Structure 1
Amino acid sequence: MRYIEEKISPRYPEGAKKDTYQPVLYGYLQDRSPQLIHSAKRMAVIVCPGGAYRFKSDREGEPIAMRFLAAGMQAFVLQYSVAPNQYPAALLELAEAVALVRTHAEEWDIDPEKIMICGFSAGGHLCASLGTLWKEPFIGEKLGRPEYLWKPDGMILCYPVISMAEFGHEECRKLLMGDQLSDEWSKFLSLQNRVTEDTVPAFIWSTQEDEEVPVENSLLFASALRRCHVTFELHIYEEGVHGLALCDATTEERKAQIVPDNAGWIRHAVRWLRRR
């Protein structure tokens, strides 16, 4: 197995990048083997931890990547820019990360048509942003890459922030938009409003007990996908606080984060990915 670190450096719009933080894509790459018939073209998953656009949760980074790695996929974790940086800094970094993985697909034993993104909470908003906005002209202008090299092939959204208005997460909204904060921008970045027939397929899960990012975020997004005839799978679990990650002791910070009935989400997600 190989471990790689790749700096992510898109061109940022004026005012979006406000510090010197260097985003990095960390990769865990399994070697090809003649005994493994799919090992020369593995699926890739890029994980985006949550953290309200204020920090990145370690619980939602490498431990998640290791589960996808164990399922036979090439796994990555994107450490993207958070506050004081503003939209679209993190979005451009994720777009660049997808493009980078696709560019290195042959070298890294990846199927270039199976590059997925997986985000938690605010990281879910980030992934859903790329999954819905990948055709926005400014992305190509800032990346300077061949057209749509940055388009993901699917997205896994784990208790995602979707709305920046009703049912939204106020800290996410303020930190993401900063001095751009307005009702107009809130509507623009409420991603249920941005779904079209070009939105990429989605696997979504949440819990009805989540009080930090209400389940309505997932329901609104799933409803928008349905209206636009975009393939999706939705799981709503009865119990569980926000930030469950793997729902077991692997990612436990406190006892409330162990919910055995929900721990199967990643098995369902892996099966969904394999159907792609």
Structure 2
Amino acid sequence: MQFEMCALPGGGKLELYLRSPDPAMPNALRRPLVLVVPGGGYEHVSAREADPVALQFAAAGYHTAVLTYSVGEGARNHEPLRQLRAAIGLLRQNAERWGILPDRIAVCGFSAGGHLALSGAVLDCPGEAADRSRKPDAVLLAYPVITAGEYAHRGSFVQLSGSEDRAEHQRFGLEGKITPDTPPVFVWHTMEDATVPVENTLLLLAALRKNHVPCEAHLFEKGVHGTSISTAEVDAASAHRAHWVQLAVEWLNDTFDFHLE
């Protein structure tokens, strides 16, 4: 495996975990990529949702990368979204050199990182032209922040807007931004999540279904917020809930028609 790190605008960074090509593996000389977007309420970038996740997808045969984006006051003015768009653009620009299939780039976001991942699929930055080349081809979401309404994770929207004004927060709500052009979505959540209530995912699913967007959802009964890959490594071990990773890999394999077996 090769490791590279790239700087992004505004102090963001992109860490790449690239599977090494070999003529002995002719079916995998070029591979799809999963770009992991950790959560943290737009206050920090969670290490528990970074390389532990990337290495799971790498083990499944994917190139992977982890996005570190601006948080706190640095999250204002859509800066994290600009950094995500820059990261996807960089991956496509270097697809040949890095052995990436440029039309098979997925984003995998957790909590507020899920909000950012889906924003990258459905929003454009104010003042910038719409650019499909900087949007993902599939979206994987874990207990995502979606709504700025009744079930909002309010802190995320305060960081993004720099305001306590709930009317300002509505600019960043996502359930009303889904269109038929939204790429396929895989999402999972727990019913016990008291930090980002499961209603965030239920509202998203209703919007995806209304717009005929391909999607798959898994709701687990047990688990607090932020369980990442649900192993002992991330201090959230649950053999049952950890199945989400394999479910996501199987879904993505079918979505991208990428099968190494």
TM-score tier by shorter-chain length is over 0.9
Q: Indicate the SS of the match to 1:261.
A: coil
Q: 1:99 aligns with which of 89, 94, 99?
A: 89
| Letter in structure 2 aligned against 1:177 | S
CA distances 1:62-81 after superposition (whole Å, capped 9, x unpaired):
11000011111111000000
Q: Which residue of 2 aligns with 1:13?
A: none
- Pairing 1:125–2:104 present: no
Q: 1:116 aligns with which of 93, 106, 109?
A: 106
Q: Which residue of 2 aligns with 1:158?
A: 142
Q: Which residue of 2 aligns with 1:27?
A: 16
- Pairing 1:82–2:71 present: yes
The question of whether the paired residues in 2 share the 8 Å contact of 1:23 and 1:79 is answered with yes
Q: Which residue of 2 aligns with 1:194?
A: 177
Tell me the distance in 1 between the aligned counterparts of 2:51 and 2:13.
Answer: 13
Q: Which residue of 1 aligns with 2:43?
A: 54
Report the CA distance between 1:173 and its aligned residue: 1.3
Q: Which residue of 1 aligns with 2:127?
A: 138
Q: Which residue of 2 aligns with 1:267?
A: 246
Identical aligned residues as a percent: 38
Tell me the distance in 2 between the aligned counterparts of 1:129 and 1:31.
Answer: 31
Stretch of structure 1 that moved more, 150-159 or 184-193? 184-193
Does the C-alpha gap of structure 1 residues 267 and 120 become closer, same or farther in structure 2, counting only changes over 3 Å?
same
| Letter in structure 1 aligned against 2:7 | K
Does the C-alpha gap of structure 1 residues 168 and 137 become closer, same or farther in structure 2, counting only changes over 3 Å?
closer
| Letter in structure 1 aligned against 2:198 | V
The question of whether the paired residues in 1 share the 8 Å contact of 2:158 and 2:169 is answered with no
- Pairing 1:5–2:5 present: yes
How many equivalent pairs are there?
254
Tell me the distance in 2 between the aligned counterparts of 1:64 and 1:139.
Answer: 31
Identify unmatched segments of 5+ residues in structure 1: 10-20, 142-146
CA distances 1:122-142 after superposition (whole Å, capped 9, x unpaired):
0000001111115x663448x
Tell me the distance in 1 between the aligned counterparts of 2:158 and 2:135.
Answer: 27
- Pairing 1:214–2:197 present: yes
Q: Indicate the SS of the match to 2:175.
A: helix
Q: Indicate the SS of the match to 1:225.
A: helix
Stretch of structure 1 that moved more, 27-36 or 73-82? 27-36
| Letter in structure 2 aligned against 1:175 | Q
Q: Which residue of 1 aligns with 2:160?
A: 176
Report the CA distance between 1:198 and its aligned residue: 1.1
| Letter in structure 1 aligned against 2:245 | I
The question of whether the paired residues in 2 share the 8 Å contact of 1:92 and 1:139 is answered with no
Q: Which residue of 2 aligns with 1:224?
A: 207
| Letter in structure 1 aligned against 2:158 | K
TM-score (norm 1): 0.88
Q: Indicate the SS of the match to 1:78.
A: strand
Does the C-alpha gap of structure 1 residues 40 and 158 become closer, same or farther in structure 2, counting only changes over 3 Å?
same
CA distances 1:204-252 after superposition (whole Å, capped 9, x unpaired):
0000000000000001001100000000000000110000001111211
Stretch of structure 1 that moved more, 102-111 or 38-47? 38-47
The question of whether the paired residues in 2 share the 8 Å contact of 1:140 and 1:148 is answered with no
CA distances 1:33-67 after superposition (whole Å, capped 9, x unpaired):
11212322201011011000000110000110000
The question of whether the paired residues in 2 share the 8 Å contact of 1:95 and 1:139 is answered with no
